[in-house]
Structure 1
Amino acid sequence: MSLEIDPNLQSAELDGREDHAPGDEPPEDAGHWILNANLGLGFSIVLTVAAFLVAGSNTIYAPAIADALIVLAIAQMGVHLVFFLHITTGPDNTNNVLALAFGIMVVFLIVVGSIWIMYNLNHNLMPVQEQMPSP
């Protein structure tokens, strides 16, 4: 196909044949957002029901129930990140991914720091029997 006879060459219209710069994408209609939200809701409901079924039935070997629930929880987080928080791999999504990574890091530091402090307090404090004077 020659560039001289390309009808979209001079029209400056965006179509799905070429890459687009961030902010230069064709506008998405409301139906796209509604479809994504409903699809995410459907996946979330299916994963939640699956978690309740796994926990409440004998279909999975008992020691593996915790592993199955962890896998379902990770899948649930993935559905929420993609369908509700719109975290994608697009070039215009870098700030959202960095904000998410920073939030995860802060929560990790708070949880690990709290556990570290409680462990050190438990290890370094005097036992209760030695604190109270005996009559």
Structure 2
Amino acid sequence: MTDDDPIIRVRGLRNQFGSQVVHDNLDLDVRRGEVLGIVGGSGTGKSVLLRSIVGLQRPTAGTVTVLGRTISEMEEEERKRLEQQWGILFQDGALFSALTVAENVQVPYREHLGLPLDLMDELAALKITMVGLPSDACTKYPSELSGGMRKRA
């Protein structure tokens, strides 16, 4: 895979539920560093498209390739390794209510990297400020945040 190759490539995607066709022959490329917004009315297939890209929804037809690998052809272990490289949020903040913002940010570090606590604290604080939250947000629980703050967290 070269730097010019798309990191996400969708070709001929078709999603259909009974007689309802959601996508028909959809093509999409997303390149490294590109930011793409998917907007549309309720029920127009935004979430179905994203679920197809990340492998949560098997399309009726077409292929989805991520980082040069076709999602439908991956073995379970390869899929798990790929899934560790992304985060997905549908509709609303997906925070654990019993954890602080910093602890929520640290979840993937604990699950996959086993980093020392002081390093996890430092990384969480950095990431929280990078998304525009004040430093005191680290110790707050999701219920103590506004809707916009929860989405950034």
TM over 0.5: no
TM-score by length of 2: 0.26
Give the number of the structure whose residues are more often strand, by fraction: 2
Give the number of the structure whose residues are more often helix, by fraction: 1
Larger radius of gyration: 1
